[in-house]
Amino acid sequence: EIVLTQSPATLSLSPGERATLSCRASQSISTYLAWYQQKPGQAPRLLIYDASNRATGIPARFSGSGSETGFTLTISSLEPEDFAVYYCQQRSNWPKTFGQGTKVEIK
């Protein structure tokens, strides 16, 4: 099973600041990684697929990068609605696995 490790667990930032979230895979997954955003009481929302492609309707302030075992989600300038939990997920192998999440909270 491919283990995805996200860091940090919590990121405390102010609106307008840049957020950088990391996801490391226990083995190479090429670029087969997605990022999701989840707000309390809501279902996850797909932000980025295949490491760097924004999903439909996702603002340009969200960007993804990386390959093999190291990936980054960047939010260039945090908006109030961006404070949430973010998960990475790999599609390289079964079982499909998620990271444990990074909470982006208001400082």
Partner 1 sequence: EVQLLESGGGLVQPGGSLSLSCAASGFTFTSYGMSWVRQAPGKGLEWVSTISGSGGSTFFADSVSGRFTISRDTSKNTLYLHMHSLRAEDTAVYYCAKDLWEIGLGYHFDSWGQGTLVTVSS
CA angle 11, 37, 102 (to 5 degrees): 30
- Per the CB < 8 A criterion, the answer to whether 35 and 20 are in contact is no
Residue of 2, 49, 73, 75 that binds partner 1 (CB under 8 A): 49
Q: How far is the CB of 97 from partner 1 (least distance, A)?
A: 7
Looking at residues 74 to 93 of the shown chain, list those that interact with partner 1 (rule: CB under 8 A): 87, 89, 91
- DSSP letter at 39 equals -
Q: Which is nearer to partner 1, 66 or 99 (CB)?
A: 99
Q: How far is the CB of 14 from partner 1 (least distance, A)?
A: 25
Cα end-to-end span (Å), the chain: 35
Contact flag: residue 34 with partner 1 (CB under 8 A): yes
Q: Among 3, 27, 21, 23, which residue's Cα sits nearest to residue 73? A: 21
Residue of 24, 45, 54, 61 that binds partner 1 (CB under 8 A): 45
- DSSP letter at 55 equals P
Residues that bind partner 1 (CB under 8 A): 32, 34, 36, 38, 42-46, 49-50, 55-56, 87, 89, 91, 94-101
